[in-house]
Chain A
Amino acid sequence: DGGITQSPKYLFRKEGQNVTLSCEQNLNHDAMYWYRQDPGQGLRLIYYSQIVNDFQKGDIAEGYSVSREKKESFPLTVTSAQKNPTAFYLCASSIARQSSYEQYFGPGTRLTVT
């Protein structure tokens, strides 16, 4: 089955630690995205990537970093510089970065930092 996997589903970390969230897709999609979701809020774009070895900052990139070494993988690192890291993180992909193409989402990772 084609799709997007995110792991783990739940993640707990102590304040001051970096943590990396995994995102893998086997849809052969070129574009991948990371979003953050907070209660009662819409999704906010953190980073996006159109092709391997290239990525751009979204609206709330501060305190986050990404890499795109392989087409199918787009891991997100939440660094200790992120002031409010506790949130639900969603990874998505699309065939290409064109406006008519929908994005497909993974199941999400809920990160709790204490």
Chain B
Amino acid sequence: GNSVTQMEGPVTLSEEAFLTINCTYTATGYPSLFWYVQYPGEGLQLLLKATKADDKGSNKGFEATYRKETTSFHLEKGSVQVSDSAVYFCALSDLSGGSQGNLIFGKGTKLSVKP
């Protein structure tokens, strides 16, 4: 079945460091891929998405490229800020029949950025 695997956290970085959070997926066909962010005690917010191979999603300095050949969608940011501290979820949108449109999530990666 479809699944998402993302790197385990927590990830602790200093301000202005480079961030990579790895995400790989297993799916048939060409699912859409998403990154969501969750701040403490809140719901999820869409960070970026990509709907086809080689698409690059970007928002607020974050970016991720849909790599069909490596089934990956790694999240990157060149210079993190303390305000980026949150939990990040990678997700794919199921394509299969009756489940189409349902999201399958990774377990989340907690990021802490120190000043």
Q: In the complex, which residue of chain B has the Cβ closest to the Cβ of A101?
A: B101
Q: Which residues of A contact B93 (CB under 8 A)?
A: 99-101
List residues of B (1-50) whose CB comes within 8 Å of A's CBs: 4, 31-32, 34, 36, 41-46, 49
A/B pair count, beta carbons within 8 Å: 63
Is there an interface contact between B89 and A99, defined as CB atoms closer than 8 Å?
Answer: no
Is there an interface contact between A42 and B106, defined as CB atoms closer than 8 Å?
Answer: yes
Is there an interface contact between B89 and A43, defined as CB atoms closer than 8 Å?
Answer: yes
Of the candidates A6, A103, A106, A108, which one forms a contact with B103 in the assembled complex, judged by CB atoms under 8 Å apart? A103
Residue A2 lies at the interface, judged by CB distance under 8 Å to chain B: no
Sorting the interface of chain B by its residue count into under 10, 10 to 19, 20 to 34 or 35 or more gives: 20 to 34
Is there an interface contact between B101 and A31, defined as CB atoms closer than 8 Å?
Answer: yes
Nearest CB of chain A from residue B115's CB, rounded to whole Å: 26
Residue A45 lies at the interface, judged by CB distance under 8 Å to chain B: yes
Is there an interface contact between A100 and B107, defined as CB atoms closer than 8 Å?
Answer: no
